[in-house]
A and B are shown apart, each in its own frame.
Chain A
C-alpha cells in the first residue's frame, strides 16, 4: 500500500535511548511484560480482533489525516503489537521508536474506539501496553519523560518545590481575601469535608484558579483543606508514559494525603486525566477497586453547590458557549448530564457540539500527548481537524473546557485553525455569575 512517509520528528527521549537497545534486549523486556504483566485481556483481545477496521471511524487522528489507515486504532495496533508479538519482541531499535511515536504521540488513549469496536476490545489498553514496553525500554518522548521525572521527584507534574507550593497558596489566599472577606485556604486542616487537590500547572502558571476556588469555597461556606505536603497534585503523566511504578507512587501520595488529613472526600479541580488516574487507573495498580475515600470531580462538585443553592447564580453568562466534553470525565465517568446542567444554569446561549456526550471527540491533547512537547505539536494539531470543524460548526465564541489538557489542547486547535474562539474553565464562568453576599464583600 503506497503511503507517503510521515514527517520525521527528532526527539531526544527516543533517539538517544534507542542507540543503547539491541533486538535481544528488546525481546527480554517485551517477553517479561508479556509473561508477567499481561493476561486475559491482552490475549483475548489480540485473538478476537477480526481486523474489520470498524474502529477506524472512532479515531480523530484517522478522520483528521484524510483517513490514513496508519492512524486507525487497529492500524496502530498492527504497526506495533502485531509485529512485536509475531517476532516475539526481536525487533530493531528503530521499530521501538516507531512504537513510541504511534502509541505515545499519535494516540490519546481516549477509548472512543472501544465504543466502536463491535467486540468491545479496549484498544487503548493495548496501546497503553505498547507504552509500557517503550517506557521499560527507556524510550519515551523527551518532555513526557521530563514530566514523569518531575512526578517521581516531587510527586507533582511541574517540578514545583515544596516551599513554592505553600508560598503560592498563601499568595492566592491573600488575593482571594481582597475579593471575599476572610476567604481562606486552610492548610492541613484535619477532618474537613473536602480535601481539594489540583494539578501542578495551577500553582505553576495558573495560580489565579486557586484564588478563584478559595473565593468559591468561602461563598459556598465549604469546610475544606489543602495539604502543605506532597500529595496535593492529582495529575499523573506516569500513567500515560507507561511508568506504572511512578504512577502508583504518585496516586498513593495523593490518597494518603487526604487520608492523613481525615478528610471526608477528595474534590479535584477541572482536569480529566487526573480524574482517571486518581479514580481508577491509580487505585487499580495499588489494589483499590475504588478510591479509598470518595473522589469527585469539580464538575460534580459545582453541580452539587449549584443545585443545593450553596452558590447562587444571579446572572447568566450570555456570550455563545459550547463545550469540550473531556473524555476522562464523560466517557470515563458519565458526568455528561451534570456538565450540561451546570452550563444551562450559568449560560444563556449554549451551542451543543455534535457528536457529543460519550461520543465527543478527544481534544487531541489528552493521554499525555500534549506533554510530549513542542516537537509533536504540529502532528497533534493536524491530527484533530475534526475537532476544529466540530467547534466551528457550533458558532460559539467560548469553549468551556473543564479539563486542563482539553484547555491547552483546544487553545492549540483554535489558534492552529484560526477559529477565533476562546477557552474558559467552568470556574471562570462561575466567578462571573455567582452572588457574593454583601457580608462577604471585602
Chain B
C-alpha cells in the first residue's frame, strides 16, 4: 500500500460495515462463462470478462454487462484510481475499452496494459501496420519501431518508455546483432545510443530521467541513464532504481566478488552477496532495503546493508516498508511453506500461499492475504482473523488505522466489508 493508495483511500466509504454488492452465482446463470474476477481498489466494484453469446464476450460489473460486446477480451484491470479497462477485439481490430468506451485508435494488437503509479494514466504496447509503439490514454507514440517489448510509465503519467528494436534482424544474423540494435524509446523518441540489449527501466521520481539495464557485449552489462552508461561494467546487472528526490541511481551488479548494490557505478554496501535484487527505498526516501542471499540457498532482507538474522530456504519476495520507514516486512517461503516475516522475525504459522504484507499506518500491525488450500484468509500479525473465503483480495487499512477493508467472495456472494481492527484482534 503506497502513499498514493492511502491518499485515495481517504475518500472511500469507511463507515458501512458490510455491503453485499453482487451475487456471483447469478452471473454464472446469466452467462455461459465467467472468467477471473477483479475488484476495484476501493472494493465498490467487482468485474469479469463473461461470455455474452456463442462467439461474443463482454464485461460484467457488479452483475451488469457492458453494452459493448467483443470477439475477444482480456487483461481486465481496474486502475489504482478505480477506472475499469479491458483490451478487446472486434473484426480483427484491437483497442482498449475504458468503462465501456473505446479509445479512438484501433490497432493490429494491444498488450502490456499498465498504469502510472499515481493511477491516472493507462498505457499499452501496440502494433499497427506502421510498426510497434505504445499508446497512453488513447494517445499513440508518433514513432514506430521494429519491435517494442515493454511499457513503463513515470509516476505522474506524463512520460512513458519501452525498449525498442531499431533495425530489422534476419534469422541467424549474429553480426548485425553484435553491433547493437536495441535502444530505449522515451515518449516514442529513441536514445541515440544502441546496445546489445536494453532491459528493465525506471523513471526518476520527477519523471525527467530514465535508467535501464544495458548489455554492451557478452558478459559486460551496466546501467545507462538517459543513454549514458556508468563508467563501471559488470558481468550482469539487475533493475535500477532512482534515489527518491534525486537523479542518483542504484542497481545490483555482479563482479568477481559477487553481487553488490552500486550507486552510480560504485559499491554501496560493502558486503557482496550470492544474490541481491529488488532494492527499494522507504517512504522517507532514505532507508534502503533489498532481497539478498547471504549464503547459497539462503534468502533474507538487508536493510541499509544489515542482513536480517533469520534466513529462508526458498524465496523472499520483496521488502515492504512501513509508512515511517522504520519497519520492513516481506512474504517469504521456507521449507516449502509461505509466511510473513517482519523485521526478520517470521510468523509461526506456515501457509500454502502468502501475498505481500502491508503495515498499518502507525507501523505496529501487519496484515496479509493468506491461502490454505483453496481457502483465503485475512492474517493479522500472524493470526488468521477472518475467513475462509472462496476469493479474496488484499486487505487494506483505513487511513486512521482503525478499520480494515476486506473484499471477499463468500458463499458465491461478493462482499465489501469494513472491520474494526480491535475486534478482529480479539478473535
How many residues in A have their beta carbons less than 8 Å from beta carbons of B?
50
Check B196–A152 contact: CB distance below 8 A. yes
Quick one: closest A residue to B276, CB to CB?
A: A287
Check B149–A187 contact: CB distance below 8 A. no
A170 at the interface (CB under 8 A from B): yes
Most buried by B among A13, A243, A287, A290: A287
Check A191–B173 contact: CB distance below 8 A. no
Most buried by B among A32, A162, A184, A187: A162
A286 at the interface (CB under 8 A from B): yes
Check A289–B174 contact: CB distance below 8 A. no
Check A286–B275 contact: CB distance below 8 A. yes
- Interface 0/1 of B377-416, CB less than 8 Å to A: 0000000000000000000000000000000000000000
Given contacts A154-B149, A186-B35, contact A287 B75 (CB under 8 A): no
A228 at the interface (CB under 8 A from B): yes
- B165 cross-chain contacts in A, Cβ below 8 A: 153
B66 at the interface (CB under 8 A from A): no
Check A162–B149 contact: CB distance below 8 A. yes
Quick one: closest B residue to A136, CB to CB?
A: B219
Q: With A and B bound together, what is the CA distance between A48 and B125 in angstroms? A: 56
Binding-face segment, B8-16, B135-143, B203-211, B311-319: B311-319
Q: Which of B125, B182, B254, B317 contacts A245 (CB 8 A)?
A: B254
Residues of B67-89 whose CB lies within 8 A of A: 72, 74-75
A320 at the interface (CB under 8 A from B): no
Check A12–B197 contact: CB distance below 8 A. no
- B127 cross-chain contacts in A, Cβ below 8 A: 163
Given contacts A162-B112, A166-B111, contact A145 B149 (CB under 8 A): no
Residues of A169-207 whose CB lies within 8 A of B: 170, 182, 184, 186-191
- Closest chain-A Cβ to B74's Cβ sits at a distance in Å of 6
> 13 new A-B pairs (CB below 8 Å) besides A249-B199, A293-B314?
A149-B177, A152-B196, A153-B149, A162-B112, A166-B109, A170-B72, A230-B149, A243-B218, A245-B235, A259-B315, A286-B275, A289-B296, A290-B297
Quick one: closest A residue to B315, CB to CB?
A: A292
A352 at the interface (CB under 8 A from B): no
A373 at the interface (CB under 8 A from B): yes
Residues of B141-197 whose CB lies within 8 A of A: 147, 149, 165, 171-175, 177, 182, 196-197
Check A191–B174 contact: CB distance below 8 A. no
B348 at the interface (CB under 8 A from A): no
Quick one: closest A residue to B333, CB to CB?
A: A292
Given contacts A13-B174, A245-B221, A293-B314, contact A184 B35 (CB under 8 A): yes
- Interface 0/1 of B225-259, CB less than 8 Å to A: 00000000001100000000000000000101000
Given contacts A36-B256, A145-B174, A152-B197, contact A136 B218 (CB under 8 A): yes
Given contacts A153-B182, A191-B371, contact A146 B353 (CB under 8 A): no
Quick one: closest A residue to B198, CB to CB?
A: A153
Quick one: closest A residue to B257, CB to CB?
A: A36
- A290 cross-chain contacts in B, Cβ below 8 A: 297, 313-314
- Chain A interface residues (CB < 8 Å from chain B): 12-13, 16, 32, 36, 135-136, 138, 142-143, 145-146, 149, 152-154, 159, 161-163, 166-167, 170, 182, 184, 186-191, 228-230, 243, 245, 248-249, 259, 262, 264, 286-290, 292-294, 373
Check B172–A287 contact: CB distance below 8 A. no
Q: With A and B bound together, what is the CA distance between A7 and B405 in angstroms? A: 72
- A170 cross-chain contacts in B, Cβ below 8 A: 72, 74
- A182 cross-chain contacts in B, Cβ below 8 A: 32-33
- A36 cross-chain contacts in B, Cβ below 8 A: 256
Check B296–A146 contact: CB distance below 8 A. no
Check A262–B172 contact: CB distance below 8 A. no
Check B109–A167 contact: CB distance below 8 A. yes
B3 at the interface (CB under 8 A from A): no
Check A135–B353 contact: CB distance below 8 A. no
Q: With A and B bound together, what is the CA distance between A145 and B116 in angstroms? A: 37
- Closest chain-B Cβ to A346's Cβ sits at a distance in Å of 29
Q: Can you name 20 A-B pairs with beta carbons within 8 Å?
A: A13-B174, A16-B175, A135-B219, A136-B218, A143-B172, A149-B177, A161-B149, A162-B149, A163-B109, A163-B127, A166-B111, A190-B36, A228-B75, A245-B235, A262-B355, A287-B275, A288-B315, A292-B315, A294-B336, A373-B172
Check A187–B75 contact: CB distance below 8 A. yes
Check B75–A146 contact: CB distance below 8 A. no
- Closest chain-B Cβ to A254's Cβ sits at a distance in Å of 13
- Closest chain-A Cβ to B61's Cβ sits at a distance in Å of 19
- A259 cross-chain contacts in B, Cβ below 8 A: 315, 317
B62 at the interface (CB under 8 A from A): no
- A32 cross-chain contacts in B, Cβ below 8 A: 256
- Interface 0/1 of B95-111, CB less than 8 Å to A: 00000000000000101
- Closest chain-A Cβ to B178's Cβ sits at a distance in Å of 8
- Per CB-CB distance, the 5 closest pairs between chain A and chain B, nearest first, are A289-B297, A292-B315, A287-B275, A287-B293, A287-B274
- Interface 0/1 of B33-62, CB less than 8 Å to A: 101100000000000000000000000000
Check A163–B174 contact: CB distance below 8 A. no
Check A138–B218 contact: CB distance below 8 A. yes
Q: With A and B bound together, what is the CA distance between A288 and B177 in angstroms? A: 32
- B111 cross-chain contacts in A, Cβ below 8 A: 162-163, 166, 228
B262 at the interface (CB under 8 A from A): no
B280 at the interface (CB under 8 A from A): no
- A184 cross-chain contacts in B, Cβ below 8 A: 35
B23 at the interface (CB under 8 A from A): no
Q: With A and B bound together, what is the CA distance between A36 and B149 in angstroms? A: 34
- A135 cross-chain contacts in B, Cβ below 8 A: 218-219
- A190 cross-chain contacts in B, Cβ below 8 A: 36
- Closest chain-A Cβ to B316's Cβ sits at a distance in Å of 9
Most buried by A among B172, B217, B236, B296: B172
- B299 cross-chain contacts in A, Cβ below 8 A: 287
Check A142–B197 contact: CB distance below 8 A. no
Check B219–A12 contact: CB distance below 8 A. no
- Closest chain-A Cβ to B212's Cβ sits at a distance in Å of 14
Check A188–B75 contact: CB distance below 8 A. yes
- B175 cross-chain contacts in A, Cβ below 8 A: 12, 16
Given contacts A163-B127, A245-B235, A289-B297, contact A146 B315 (CB under 8 A): no
B215 at the interface (CB under 8 A from A): yes
Quick one: closest A residue to B234, CB to CB?
A: A245
- Closest chain-B Cβ to A285's Cβ sits at a distance in Å of 9
Check A142–B109 contact: CB distance below 8 A. no
Most buried by A among B111, B254, B313: B111
Check B74–A187 contact: CB distance below 8 A. yes
- Closest chain-B Cβ to A74's Cβ sits at a distance in Å of 29
- Closest chain-A Cβ to B96's Cβ sits at a distance in Å of 14
- B149 cross-chain contacts in A, Cβ below 8 A: 153-154, 161-162, 230
- A161 cross-chain contacts in B, Cβ below 8 A: 147, 149
Quick one: closest B residue to A146, CB to CB?
A: B172
Most buried by A among B215, B218, B256: B218
B343 at the interface (CB under 8 A from A): no
